[in-house]
Amino acid sequence: MRLMTSSDKPENPETAGAPTGVAAQDWATAAADPQYRAAVVDLLGALAYGELAAFERLAEDAKLAPTLADKAELAKMASAEFHHFERLRNRLTEIGAEPAAAMDPFVAALESFHKQTAPSDWLEGLVKAYVGDSIASDFYREVAARLDTDTRELVLAVLDDTGHAEFAVEKVRAAIDADPRVGGRLALWARRLMGEALSQSQRVVADRDALSTMLVGGVADGFDLAEVGRMFTRITEAHTKRMAALGLAA
């Protein structure tokens, strides 16, 4: 299935133009299908816990900041993630789901990811925030196209403006300019982040049937692993381009 944001490739006529199916329905209509409802609860739970975990990690990284101004910048990002978390949690409550129960299935995978990728210094923390935020944005956009209008609006709203990108890119570029060897180390680090993110995502996809089915286009009778693979490929390609733009060979 083609995605709304893949504007760099030719349109697939199947999904070009006005949204159809679930994407043309509001929540009340779409949620009549219990499998769709379960998938959205899963999705919001995963996103909510992702934001809460991002809050914690950014707050942790703030400790590594070389200056008070940098510390404040990381704290600001952390606070922005918290507000995204709040919106997602409130939405879960609104649709009658228990937020903690919805988040719970995703705790282990995210904890694993963060445990495997604890930054050892300030620059690694920045690259992680940037890579993490970018992958999350790509994923949100991939999935937005498959959502009912109400859920899509929320998901796109929590996408915006945590401000990671600009700040991280500027600091990382300056560090590489000052010492080009830093680039090699951070490129390895970014590869490790991406590898770990993919490995944890695949674990989640394998565990959560309703969510996975939705991710690959709402085929109710089982899901297409090849399409999941293509989604991961698109996200990886976007990551590679961003790393190159940052001066890091990905």
Contact set with a copy of itself (CB under 8 A): 49, 52, 55-56, 59-60, 62-63, 67-69, 71-72, 75-76, 78-79, 82-83, 85-86, 89, 99-100, 103-104, 107
CB of 80 to a copy of itself, least distance (A): 9
In whole angstroms, what is the distance from residue 21 CA to residue 4 CA? 15
Q: Which is nearer to a copy of itself, 27 or 49 (CB)?
A: 49
Three-state SS for 7-38 is: CCCCCCCCCCCCCCHHHHCCHHHHCCCHHHHH
Q: Are 193 and 127 in contact (CB under 8 A)?
A: yes
Q: Which is nearer to a copy of itself, 11 or 98 (CB)?
A: 98
* Residue among 71 and 173 whose Cβ is closer to a copy of itself: 71
Cα 103 to Cα 133: distance, rounded to the nearest angstrom: 19
Q: Which residues contact 166 (CB under 8 A, 6 or more apart)?
A: none
Comparison of 12 and 79: residue with beta carbon closer to a copy of itself = 79
DSSP state of 107: H
CB of 223 to a copy of itself, least distance (A): 28
Residue closer to a copy of itself, measured from CB, 166 or 221: 166
Query: Exposed, middle or buried, 17 (CB in 10 Å: 0-12/13-18/19+)?
Result: exposed
Distance (Å, whole) CA 28 – CA 185: 49
- The position carrying tokens 């920045």 is 126
Provide the minimum distance between the beta carbon of 5 and a copy of itself in the complex, in angstroms, as a whole number.
29
Nearest-approach distance from CB 42 to a copy of itself, in angstroms = 15
What is the nearest approach in angstroms of a copy of itself to the Cβ of residue 81?
Answer: 9
Measured from the CB atom, is 125 or 217 closer to a copy of itself? 125
Per the structure block, which two tokens stand in for 203?
A: 């674990």
Smallest distance, a copy of itself to C-beta of residue 10, A: 43
